[in-house]
Amino acid sequence: MRLFIVRHGETEHNARGIIQGHGLTRLSDRGRKQAALVAERLASAKPDAIFTSDLPRARETADEIARKHPGVPLIEDKRLREHDFGELEGQPSEGILADMPNWHPDYKPGGGESTAEVRKRARQFYQELLAKGMGTVIVVTHGILVRALVGAATGKEARFKTKNTGVTEIRIGKSAEVVCVNCDKHLAGHPGKPMSL
| Active-site residue, 117 included | no
C-alpha dist (Å) from residue 58 to 24, 145, 175: 10, 12, 28
| Active-site residue, 8 included | yes
Exposure string (b/e) for 150-167, b if CB count within 10 Å is 16 or more?
Answer: bbbbeeeebeeebbbbbb
C-alpha Rg value of the chain to the nearest Å? 16
**Among 10, 64, 82, 113, the one annotated catalytic:** 82
**Among 8, 69, 83, 142, the one annotated catalytic:** 8
How many Cα neighbours within 13 Å face the side chain of 191? 9
Catalytic residue positions? 8, 82
